[in-house]
Structure 1
Amino acid sequence: MTAQAEMLAEGAPPRPAKDRPRSLALWLLTVGALVVLMVAVGGITRLTESGLSITEWKPVTGAIPPLTDDQWQAEFESYQQIGEYRRINGPAGMTLAEYKFIYFWEWLHRLLGRVIGLAFALPLAFYWVRRSIPRGYKSRLVALLALGGLQGVFGWYMVRSGLSEEMTDVSHFWLSIHLLTALFTLAGLVWTALDLLALERNRRARPARVTGLALTTTIILFIQLLLGAWVAGLNAGLASDTWPLMQGRIIPEANWNQGAIWAFTHDPFLLHFLHRWWAWIAVGALIILARAVKKRGVRPASIAIHVTFGIQILLGIATVLTGVALWLAVLHQLVGALLVAATAWGAHVLGRQKA
């Protein structure tokens, strides 16, 4: 007996022939993989100080880099007007070839953003026209598309925050908003894909819900990711190259002269300290989440959580001990994105509802 005949025998109407939950799920996971790549390239852009190399936002024409010597010179001259060049790279004697290097990473980062936008919007339009989107999922997919658009807007606000003559870097607040929006979008892509795969297996399946344990773990992980973004934005990873001690002590000296709020949001030593030790609180929460997932019988999700946070901790320590070696720091950010995806998977397992 075919699956459709079994459904009819049970008295339930068959799923419309044009519904393609599995196809949609694979598409969303592919976009999620592109977002992970985007996070990694964003890390390289940050670590090579490339983020301010393109001083204008041209969503369409900006996809084409300078092609002639005159165009390159014009871009370089625009960059020479901002504080990063005048205070840092200019006095260091930056050449046009060196400028082209940092331009490449920022251009690639923005190009990936455009690719992700097209990779989401065009298939979405195709599935919409073909009426292949299951009932109840259109609004969620549109929300994910809107998040992608916001990501681009936040990215430009981040860049714009560092373009004045007084600034030599972007605002670490805007950097955290930019990064966390990307990670939230990644979690949404994974969650929605898992809902669609469940619908493929059972047409009566209902979307997963967020449980109390999942929400608590997510909040703890969010704080860790926020601290990590601030550490990156303030170059606070360079505050110490020893572990577990900082400045020869567990708790480093911090600047409290401008008040506690300023210290907790700006002091590089304090933020570095908080990021390295809040990580263990996040690990504890993730272990509890992973054990609960294992009890639900989904061992691969539990393993994914354990593996990603274990590698993340080791990479974090190695990044500190090497004085923020570029590729270790990039891998630290990349595995952080994978940890978000694994956590979303585990949270989804706990939130699955009976059909």
Structure 2
Amino acid sequence: MSKRAIFEEVSSPKAEAAAPAPVRGREARGAIALWLWLLAALVAAMVLVGGLTRLTDSGLSITVWDPVMGAVPPLSASDWEAAFEAYKTTTEYQVQNNWMTLEDFKPIFWWEWGHRFLGRVIGVVWLVGLVGFLVARAVPRGWLGRLVVPGLLGGVQGAVGWWMVASGLTGRLDVASYRLAMHLGLAFVIFMLLVWLAMRIRLDEVEALKARRRRFGGMGWAGSLGALIFLQIIVGALVAGIDAGRGYVDWPLMQGQFLPSESFDLVPPWRNFFENPALVQFCHRMLGYLVLIWALATAVALARRGHPRIRAAGFWLAGGVLAQVVIGIVTVMHGSPAALAIFHQAGALVVVFLLMRTKFALAYPSETRIARGRSR
């Protein structure tokens, strides 16, 4: 029996087989992150297509909700005639669009069909991706529930979308603005969740624990700013729902007044906050100013934390809010044409992304080193 050196390296098949596991784990997390980013991009596109559907008054062109067979558009002349005849039963057609021919109807039909079809695509991408990762056993421990939630919310969003459309098929000229606000608000919730998960999945539990221990405040600033931004998005949906952005095109006043005299003409008074274009746009303007002030204050507060990435994130967020306010003013002063209005909606997505990046930087600060008296 030969003698073994004291410092001889000892290896075992089990140890060698287990060694690559962390690499595979990082690769799996990276793949899931890409999938989540793809879903977030599709949801952002869905928001913009939905905005254009609203701006082109196309939302009521399809009067039925069929999650499965509804994916198939009209394929024959008789199919198109049937779809057009169904649209003719709506109040929107009878009061506003009775001049339309079948050829006029087709463009608005395609906008609504495309909006619904994109929703189906998002559902398929989510389901196929999730099943694929489960089959490959790539889902990290404790993450299955987190990855299921966006899909469940997507299903709820489809139901809310039909609930919104249905409000315009019961004698109204358009969909109920508060239902539109709920529909858009939920879309932004899904977008924010996907962005957060896409950033968080890249950290394993050990890295996440270490990052959490480096926290040094600031979440209150970002959280309160996030609440204001979300409220502004909801009010913006109300503006879009009643076309409130097209009636008052001067700034900083509204038809020469700070608060238009007709702001509380509706009875009961609470209706004015949802259905009166004057008051709804006034609230959107005032809340925009408040969001900007709070964003600037947040940027200053985060800069004092001394962390370079957090400081940069705060300044980017404040800059995004400032740009969004300017875009909003320009949009209103031009009567909210479709191109500017959808650009403004895209700006809201950018602001929300910057908000989530700032909150993530605060929740999981990166490691910094001190050199020459400064953090880097």
TM-score, scaled to structure 1: 0.89
Counterpart of 1:102 in structure 2 is 108
Indicate the larger mover: 199-208 or 324-333: 199-208
Query: Does residue 1:177 correspond to 2:188, yes or no?
Result: no
Alignment partner for residue 204 of structure 2, among 187, 196, 199?
199
- Within a 5 Å distance, the mapping from 1:60-79 to structure 2 comes to 60-79=68-87
What is the match of residue 270 of structure 2? 261
Asked if 1:148 corresponds to 2:160, the answer is no
- Paired residues of 2:29 and 2:140 also in contact (CA < 8 A): yes
The answer on 1:44 being equivalent to 2:52 is yes
Deviations 1:10-43 (A, max 9, x none): xx99638356111111111111111111111111
Q: Which amino acid aligns with 1:15?
A: P
Structure 1 residue 158 and structure 2 residue 160: aligned? no
Would you say the 8 A contact 1:237–1:324 is kept in 2? Answer: yes
Q: Classify 1:261/1:210 alpha carbon distance in 2 versus 1 (closer, same or farther; 3 Å).
A: farther
1:3 corresponds to? none
How many percent identity over aligned positions? 37
**2:195–2:356 contact (8 Å) kept in structure 1:** yes
In structure 2, the residue matched to 1:296 is 307
If you compute each CA radius of gyration, which structure gives the higher value, 1 or 2?
A: 2
Q: Does 1:275 align with 2:301?
A: no
Paired position in structure 2 for 1:168: 173
* Deviation for aligned residue 1:300: 5.3
Offset at residue 218 of structure 1 (A): 1.4
Is 2:199 the partner of 1:188?
no
The residue type paired with residue 36 of structure 1 is A
TM-superposed CA distance for 1:353, in Å, is 6.4
Distance 1:135 1:148 in 2: 23
Q: Which residue of 2 aligns with 1:319?
A: 331
Pick aligned residue for 1:112 from 113, 118, 125: 118
Q: Tell me which residue corresponds to 2:235.
A: 227
| Residue 306 of structure 1: aligned partner | 318
Cα deviations across residues 152-186 of structure 1 (Å, max 9, x unaligned)?
Answer: 1111111111012x211001111011101010111
Which 10-residue stretch deviates more, 93-102 or 345-354? 345-354
Determine which of 315, 338, 343 is the counterpart of 2:355: 343
**TM-score normalised to structure 2 length:** 0.84
Q: 1:139 to 1:123 in 2, by over 3 A?
A: same
CA contact (8 A) 1:293 1:350 kept: no
> How many pairs are equivalent?
342
**Structure 1 contact 292–350 (Cα < 8 Å) conserved:** no
Task: Give distance in 2, aligned partners of 1:104 and 1:210.
Answer: 46
In structure 1, what is the Cα distance between the partners aligned to 2:266 and 2:173? 23
Amino acid at match of 1:193: A
Matched, 1:33 2:45: no
Task: Please identify, of 256-265 and 222-231, the stretch whose mean Cα deviation from structure 2 is larger.
Answer: 256-265
**Post-superposition CA distance 1:202-242 (Å, at most 9, x none):** 37557899932222111111211111011111111122011
Q: What SS does the corresponding residue of 2:142 show, helix, strand or coil?
A: coil
- In structure 2, the gaps of 5 or more residues are 1-14, 368-376
CA contact (8 A) 2:181 2:234 kept: yes
- Please tell me whether the aligned partners of residues 293 and 346 of structure 1 are also in contact (alpha carbons under 8 angstroms): no
Say which is worse superposed, 264-273 or 154-163, in terms of deviation: 264-273
Deviations 1:32-79, CA, capped at 9 Å, x for gaps? 111111111111100000000000111121112111111100000000
- Contact 2:42 2:122 survives alignment (8 Å): yes
- Look up the equivalent residue of 1:333 and give its one-letter code: Q
Is the 2:177–2:274 contact (alpha carbons within 8 Å) kept by the matching residues of 1?
no
Contact 1:18 1:130 in 2 (8 A): no
Would you say 1:330 and 2:360 are equivalent positions?
A: no
Separation (CA, whole Å) in 1 of partners of 2:278 and 2:184: 21
C-alpha spacing 1:132/1:101, structure 2 compared with 1 (3 Å): same
Q: Which runs of 5+ in 1 are unaligned?
A: 1-7
- The structure whose RCO (Cα within 8 Å, separation 6+) is larger is 1
